[in-house]
Amino acid sequence: MTTRTSTPELDSERDYSTDVRSSASNENEISLAARVEALLFASPAPVSIPQLASALDVTPRLVQKAIEMLQEDLNQRGIRLQKHRSLIQLTTAPELAGDIERFLQLESTSRLTPAALEVVSIIAYQQPVTRPKIDAVRGVNSDSVLRTLLRYGLIEETGRSETPGRPILYATTVEFLQQFGIDSLGLLPPLNLEDLPPSDGPDELGEEGEAQSEP
């Protein structure tokens, strides 16, 4: 008499090719904050909350909460969560720049001139801002400095003003945050608004402002 061996019942949720639970099951065991961290780590560029929500098949509200949890956790580590406008990315902690430079054997980076620091500071606090407005604050023409900052990737053109002449609007970039070691524009030191010129007037000079040339 032939004895028939019963076949064990297969688990539909199990991946028998690797003898582990399916990826869907694994995802349920990993926190949403960890999944967000993985996507940010893998992304070659900053991403938005809607992008993360779409990739993870959850709501943007849940992603926002996960990001807040992740940010709190990263404050105790060597990685930081950097925000620029609506985009987010992972960066190394600014205070560890010296360690990273020595480890990667990086050469000393060139420093910005006082004029460049002045212009990028004006843009950081008043962005988006036009060149005529920048010239009005400084009292000199800022064309060459703006070209330098654009070449370094610290600022970018974000459109044109609706004022006469439709001058170009400038704003800071993610590279600006990285170079100055801050996680978001909200962490810039407070500025005394009384020191700034009135909002209307300087922009009316148009793209050919009357400020004198940079010395």
- Boundaries of every domain in the chain: 28-95, 114-205
Q: Which CATH number fits domain 28-95: 3.40.190.10, 1.10.10.10, 1.10.357.10, 3.30.30.10?
A: 1.10.10.10
User: Which 3 state secondary structure label does DSSP give 130?
Assistant: strand
Q: What CATH number has the domain spanning 114-205? A: 1.10.10.10
Confidence bin at 100 (pLDDT 50/70/90): confident
C-alpha torsion sign, points 18, 23, 26, 31: positive
Burial of 149 (0-12, 13-18, 19+ CB in 10 A): buried
Q: What is the mean pLDDT of the chain?
A: 77
110 neighbors 118 (Cβ within 8 angstroms)? no
Mean pLDDT confidence for 85-112: 78
Confidence bin at 208 (pLDDT 50/70/90): very low
Reported pTM: 0.51
Task: Decide if 28-95 and 114-205 have a common fold.
Answer: yes
Whether residue 72 is predicted with pLDDT greater than 80 in this model: the reply is yes
142 neighbors 134 (Cβ within 8 angstroms)? yes
Number of other residues whose CB lies within 10 A of the CB of residue 200: 8
